[in-house]
Chain A
Amino acid sequence: MKKKSAELLITPEKASIIEMPKAMHRRNFLVQLGFGASAAAFLAACKKDDDNNNKPDDAIDLGSGDPGILNYAYALEQLEAAFYTQVISSPFSGITASETALLTDIRDHEIAHREFFKTALGSAAIPALTPNFSSINFGDRSSVLGAAKTFEDLGVAAYNGAGKLIQSEDYLLLAGKIVSVEARHAAYIRDLISNGSFADNTAVDANGLDKALPPSEVLMAASGFLTSKIYGGNLPTA
């Protein structure tokens, strides 16, 4: 357990810096992610899972402790790598040379992250996941960039939220090395959609803080892009 002395704890009333975006209710978050009308269905499905501490038989268990968090990151990187691999192999109509070059870079970064986690986890690694990108029209620029924005913003929020769950200083640093690259991606993708939206108020709050989300919410959002079922019930929560 991490040491946490009570007098060092700041309360949200005292310090604005640690105030989690209170407006980030699940529904709003899902709507922001573009789930729209299906948000309610997702919530219903997830609520059922919350009440059930047992892993569904067909779900992949991420595990517990730091290896669990690494598997959590590995799962997200698998998703991103698969997405950008398809973006590059079947480019959207009207893609520019610059976009091709930089989206290829992003694909390579995500593959590097994925392979890094796979190697670091060794025998503890979860299996390869099967993505489900049926909601994305890979021929359409706005569909692809919209999905890319969802993945990148979600990745940033996931790493930001996972930092406090990591026990090892080395793994914390590694997560830090990756999250800022995801944030660079997120800003680039957002600017492709609308120049100047790299850090607008849908990404960054009035205190100048990016989002941080717990694994439960991130996994719920990611589940819409996965055929594989992931179980995060054994992950650390604090």
Chain B
Amino acid sequence: MNINNIITEIEKIDPEVYDRMDSRRTAMKGFAKLGAKLALTAVPLALGGLFKKSYGQATTSIVDVLNYALTLEYLESEFYTMGYAAAGLIPAGPAQGAIMTIRDHEVAHVAALKATIAALNGTAVDKPDFDFTAGGAFANVFTNYDTFLAVAQAFEDTGVRAYKGQAAKLISNNDVLTAALQIHSVEARHASHIRQMRQARNTGVTNKPWITGKDTGGIGAAVQPVYNGEEITTQANINIAGFSGISANAASEAFDEPLTMEAVLDIVTPFLA
């Protein structure tokens, strides 16, 4: 990965990236400075910081949110399309049926989001190139069923949190908000099923259809950012775990938590080729 490639990738995801920053020149200068100071492995982190500055504004438009959602759906649809097509990866029978169902939904989400962006006179971002091994962290993602399911779970749980985090930005447009909610709950259905598929593998790790605390369900540190923040047990200043008979685990499970756009981009960046 080099700085120029990163710039090109961001430009693919967000054609207006330079408008968000001062100009390409300033952006390049910023990157050059970073590059000089940081080892390449630290670049994704620095990139996250840059995204934070550029996207952390309150003025994100509806089309921006839809393009962000589209990028996540590109990721999921390509992931399931490749996984389903990988010979010998997914056991025949119910597992293949489930992955096909999920793949079809993600493909439909891509089409629906593109159509909506077009209807709003926006420009849909192009699909980025993906590296589903995340630079080698999941090297056998398309040859090992358990790795595939682990990455699938991380993507679905991230998707649920990502949509949730954008709902407020869509509040001015009832139709788009409703459609986003209708996608959001489908991602949660997927997450529930993928988690059950992992549980059925009998790996000795308990993995429920819902998220307990900030537990990764045995996937480990590589996906911890997907779950950080899920452990809270207070909602709107009300202590959920304080209700009679409600454990801290149940209190955390009962509410899924949102993720900011920058937190999601930090999670997704390693999967960009």
Contact = CB atoms under 8 A, between A and B. Distances in A.
Contacts of B177: 163-164
Interface of B: 62, 94, 97-98, 101-102, 104-109, 111-113, 115-116, 118-121, 160, 163-164, 167-168, 171-179, 181-193, 196, 208-210, 235-236, 238, 240, 243, 245-247, 250-251, 253-258
Contacts of A120: 236, 238
15 contacts: A9-B175, A10-B120, A108-B254, A173-B258, A177-B257, A178-B254, A180-B187, A184-B188, A184-B210, A184-B256, A187-B190, A195-B94, A196-B97, A199-B101, A199-B193
Interface string A83-126: 00000000000000000001001001101110110011000000
A82 interface: no
Nearest to A160: B181
A116 B237 CA distance: 10
A8 interface: yes
B31 to A, nearest CB: 34
Contact of A4 (B104, B109, B174, B192): B174
A196 B107 CA distance: 18
B173 A169 contact: no
A184 B44 CA distance: 32
A211 B167 CA distance: 17
A102 B176 contact: no
B46 to A, nearest CB: 30
Q: Per DSSP, are chain A's interface residues mostly helix, strand or loop, or mixed?
A: helix
Contacts of B176: 10, 18
A160 B171 contact: no
Interface residues of A, number: 66
A238 B174 contact: yes
Interface of A: 2-5, 7-11, 14-18, 102, 105, 108-109, 111-113, 115-116, 119-120, 156, 159-161, 163-164, 166, 169-170, 172-174, 176-188, 191, 195-196, 198-200, 203-204, 206-212, 238
Nearest to A198: B193
Contact of B183 (A111, A156, A208): A208
B210 A196 contact: no
B189 A183 contact: yes
A232 to B, nearest CB: 18
A176 B115 contact: no
Contacts of A160: 178, 181-182, 185
A160 to B, nearest CB: 5
A2 B172 contact: yes
A213 to B, nearest CB: 11
The 6 closest A-B CB pairs, nearest first, are A208-B108, A187-B192, A183-B188, A17-B112, A180-B188, A209-B182
Contact of A210 (B118, B186, B256): B186
B250 A188 contact: no
Contacts of B120: 8, 10
Q: Which of A15, A113, A120 has the most CB of B within 10 A?
A: A15
